[in-house]
Chains A and B, each alone.
Chain A
């Protein structure tokens, strides 16, 4: 808990209000990008980034469920993404004879989600007994374990069915057979199924699930556990159950985005989902504001585009990236900036809602800060 409690802590009402913004940002973003795309205003390199952006947004939102709403610092989220990615690829290959692309994609995403959820259950049972820093360390370890396991998994497919082994020699394919997973080489020869529209739908689905969960009795219990464990147990809520709900839901959503991500490329290696990717997604969450869903969406989109946009800085690209991160954090933590943003969002809301905006006394407003 330690560092997190200070930053987290929105209540259901605030989430209900920000749900409007979350959906709004995603739909507006999709319409804008689609329009720009059809007008030919989007470069080739950015076009290639559209699906990964959707996948990263879904990753950031699902990690925010674990880190922000449940208050557990998980450093192995990319592990679930990789489970979803590779099981999704296998499912897509198994069902490649099906007629419609979107049916195959749907099956792959669902299978990816289910297997990642299973991994979430297996990892969650031991991990969620730990608290704070220990939980962070163990999730980090599990993320790496998943990647290392995937490094030695070889999967081939021929007319007799799937063959799974821990080395190349263990697989004996007939002439028509082909390899799906090649250990450290990862999945090769993937048929590209993901589209920007599918990514958009997945982001909407992720938002739908996370925001609904937050606005339910389970969400209240999860947040109660985060805010005051002793009090939550005193009213008969068992900590592990609800932490598990959040953790496994987060894992399922990460697996789904993993499947979407993998099916956008022709090859994907396990190394793609290493510790750096976990941290990258955590950076999206922290920069967007822990517990702030809309913030996660925006920061995931911006920070995925940013390294591409900074290409002109060539060697100084990552340096510039770091400086931009620091500047954004300074700016968003500035009290005057917060005041300005909260004032702005109040005015915009007043225009939209028509109802009179309730103004709290000045002192309460200063404490509140930006949403």
Chain B
């Protein structure tokens, strides 16, 4: 029997059979992200090569691999912090070649950073409101002279920001400076700021780093809740295997810039190449 997660989309825009991690419920739908042979060289070094996966519109999948495998580089390619040397990816069927970081976010990919990049001195609420920026409708005139439309839009933004903060029970800290939050809370705030931009694909770079086991378990529930509420695709990089195996429906394993395995958590756990990449090869007798 073919495992459901390896089924290809019924009508993919490009035929990439065998590259999909789509869960069953997404199989009939158009994939939200089709990454085709993405690669980048830094000078003579190939950091990522032939990265090809397809993600369904409501899928949670994981990108794992040893340190230095190129996971964050993949995120940087997907958000156009780096322009890919080879390959491209389609977001909701649209080619992203030539887009820059700003346009990629506007097209529907939002991310968090491995080393947290919040606006430290601004309040928690303002950080979320910066994510909401394009959802707040008033012009420069409204901003300079505080017209009624300004007050209306700012009130809406305030309510929306608090709604978002409620996802992580952070509404109480709305007026605290973001830099004063504990590490775990800063990570959660970064997720909210990314979410506020209204993405179709959310890229989380080590969301559980620095969290204790109970926080991590809460985070797993929340990531599922975010997926169910916002109906978005989530791709995450994580070293915490409990989290990855617990919530990811499909996993891709990266080593030295190459995908060495793709499949369900069970398949990945028993894949000899993956075990080798993480633990090294057993000396042959």
Residues of chain B lying within 8 A (CB to CB) of residue A11: 119, 121-123, 126, 177
Contact bitstring A316-355, B, C-beta under 8 A = 1, else 0: 0000000000000000000000000000000000000000
Q: Which of A1-31 contact B (CB under 8 A)?
A: 9-13
Complex: chain B residue closest to A367, CB-CB: B180
Q: Looking at chain B, what size class is its interface with the partner chain?
A: 35 or more
Contact bitstring A216-258, B, C-beta under 8 A = 1, else 0: 1111110110011011111111100000010001000000000
Q: Is B85 positioned at the interface, with any CB of A under 8 Å from its CB? A: no
CA–CA, A232 to B157, complex, Å? 18
Residues of chain A lying within 8 A (CB to CB) of residue B111: 234
Q: Is B193 positioned at the interface, with any CB of A under 8 Å from its CB? A: yes
Known interface pairs A231-B117, A236-B106; A12-B122 also in contact (CB < 8 Å): yes
Q: Is B11 positioned at the interface, with any CB of A under 8 Å from its CB? A: no
Say yes or no: B136 contacts A228, CB within 8 Å: no
Q: Which of B191-236 contact A (CB under 8 A)?
A: 193-194, 196-197
Q: Is A213 positioned at the interface, with any CB of B under 8 Å from its CB? A: yes
- 9 interchain pairs, CB-CB under 8 A: A216-B150, A220-B122, A220-B129, A220-B133, A221-B130, A223-B122, A232-B130, A234-B117, A236-B133
Known: A217-B133, A236-B102. 13 other contacts (CB 8 A): A12-B126, A217-B136, A227-B122, A230-B81, A232-B119, A234-B79, A234-B111, A234-B113, A234-B194, A235-B105, A235-B193, A236-B134, A249-B144
Most interface-central of A218, A230, A249 (chain B CB within 10 A): A218
Q: Is B253 positioned at the interface, with any CB of A under 8 Å from its CB? A: no
Q: Is B42 positioned at the interface, with any CB of A under 8 Å from its CB? A: no
Residues of chain A lying within 8 A (CB to CB) of residue B118: 228, 231
Residues of B within 8 A of A (CB): 79, 81, 101-102, 105-106, 110-111, 113, 117-123, 126, 129-131, 133-134, 136, 138, 140, 142-146, 150, 153-154, 157, 175, 177, 180, 193-194, 196-197
Say yes or no: B133 contacts A231, CB within 8 Å: no
Residues of chain A lying within 8 A (CB to CB) of residue B110: 234-235
CA–CA, A59 to B214, complex, Å? 54
CA–CA, A235 to B197, complex, Å? 6
B137 CB to closest chain A CB (Å) equals 9
Residues of chain B lying within 8 A (CB to CB) of residue A41: none
Count of inter-chain pairs, beta carbons less than 8 A: 102
Say yes or no: A221 contacts B133, CB within 8 Å: yes
Q: Is A276 positioned at the interface, with any CB of B under 8 Å from its CB? A: no
Say yes or no: B145 contacts A12, CB within 8 Å: no
Residues of chain A lying within 8 A (CB to CB) of residue B175: 13
Q: Is A209 positioned at the interface, with any CB of B under 8 Å from its CB? A: yes
Residues of chain A lying within 8 A (CB to CB) of residue B130: 220-221, 224, 232, 235, 237
CA–CA, A96 to B122, complex, Å? 49
Residues of chain B lying within 8 A (CB to CB) of residue A224: 119, 122, 130
Say yes or no: B123 contacts A231, CB within 8 Å: no
